Amino acid sequence: MKVSKAMEINDEGFLNQAGTTGRLDDHLYMHHMPYSYTAEQIRKLRTFLFHMQDKPIPRVIMITSALPGEGKSLIASNLAISIAKGDDQYVLLVECDLRKPSLSNLFKYPPSKGVSEIIQGNAKIEDCLIKTSINKLTILPAAKEPPANPSELLESKRMSSLIKELSERYNDRFLIIDTSPIQATVDPKIIADQVEAIIMVSRYRYTKEADFKMAMENLPKDKVVGTVLNALDELPAKKYKYRKYNYHKYY
C-alpha cells in the first residue's frame, strides 16, 4: 500500500488542528463556496501563476499589501486552498505577519507556536504544523505570542534557513507566505529577498495611489508578478464582464 505524503506529515504529529475553535471563516470561499464567482477569480489567479510566459512556476510566493485591512491574508488563504485542490499539489501556508497574525481567526485554531519560536530555537517545525480539514493544506502559524523583535527575527539567518528548508523538504510543495503590510513595517521587504514571486493586494476604493506606489518601490520589481484588486463589487463586475471584454481581473 502506497503511503501518501499527507499521511507521512500526519505521522510527524500535529499538536493542533484547524477548526477546533469554530467553523472555518465564511470568507474562505474556496472551501465554503468553491463554485462562487469569487472562488472563480481565485482560480484565475492560480492559473495565471501556473502559466506565466517565459517564467517557471513559482513555488515560494509572498502575499502582501500596502496597508492593513486590504485583505492580504484572505487572498493568501484562498489561494493556498485553491492550489491544494489541484492534483498532487501540497501547500504550506506560512504566516510571517509576526506582529498581527490573523490565520487563527480564519482557520479557527488556538494561538500556537510557529515561525517565531522556531527561529528562536524554542520549537521544531513538526511541533508547530497545523492540520486543516482541507486535503494537502497545512499551516505554519506566526507565533503563540507576538515577539518583541519581529524584524530582527525575520532578518536573521535562521529565517532564511527556515524558508529554504520548508521549500526543499518536498519538491511538490508550494509555500504561500502571508506577510505584514509594507507601509506598516519593514518585514515584507526582508522576506521579499527569499521568495520567488510576490503578489500585491489592493483594496478597491480603499488603497490610495500614493501608498500603493510607495509600497511597490520597496519591493524587487522583477519578483512582483501581479496585483489582486480585492473587494470589488461583484454584480457590476459580472455584468460588465459579459457585455464587453474582461473588466474584472484579480491579477
The rounded distance, in Å, linking the Cα atoms of 226 and 229 is 10
The rounded distance, in Å, linking the Cα atoms of 54 and 63 is 22
Q: Does the residue 164 lie in any domain?
A: yes
Q: Does the residue 248 lie in any domain?
A: no
Cα angle 135-69-64, degrees, rounded to a multiple of 5: 60
Cα-only R_g, the chain: 18
Q: Which residue is listed with cell 497545512?
A: 138
Q: What is the pLDDT of residue 233?
A: 65
pTM of the complete model: 0.86
The rounded distance, in Å, linking the Cα atoms of 47 and 219 is 23
Q: What is the pLDDT of residue 24?
A: 95
The rounded distance, in Å, linking the Cα atoms of 223 and 162 is 20
How many domains is the chain built from?
Answer: 1
Q: What is the pLDDT of residue 169?
A: 86
Query: 78-81 — which CB contacts under 8 Å span 24+ positions?
Result: 78/27, 78/28, 78/29, 78/30, 78/39, 78/42, 79/42, 79/45, 79/46, 79/176, 79/199, 80/137, 80/174, 80/176, 81/28, 81/30, 81/31, 81/42, 81/134, 81/137
Residue 50 sits in which domain range?
5-243
List the CATH number of the domain containing 25.
3.40.50.300
Residue ranges, the chain, pLDDT below 50: 1-13, 235-251
Q: What is the pLDDT of residue 16?
A: 78
Q: What is the pLDDT of residue 234?
A: 57
Q: What is the pLDDT of residue 206?
A: 87
Q: Does the residue 251 lie in any domain?
A: no
The rounded distance, in Å, linking the Cα atoms of 16 and 133 is 12
All 3 cell numbers of residue 33? 463556496
Q: Does the residue 169 lie in any domain?
A: yes
Strand stretches in the chain, DSSP E: 16-17, 60-65, 90-95, 130-131, 137-140, 173-178, 197-203, 224-230
Q: What is the pLDDT of residue 171?
A: 79
Q: What is the pLDDT of residue 251?
A: 37
Q: What is the pLDDT of residue 184?
A: 83
SS3 readout for 165-201: HHHHCCCCEEEEEECCCCCCCCHHHHHHCCCCEEEEE
Q: Does the residue 249 lie in any domain?
A: no
What is the per-residue pLDDT across 129-142, written as a single tens digit (0 to 9) for each?
999 999 999 999 99
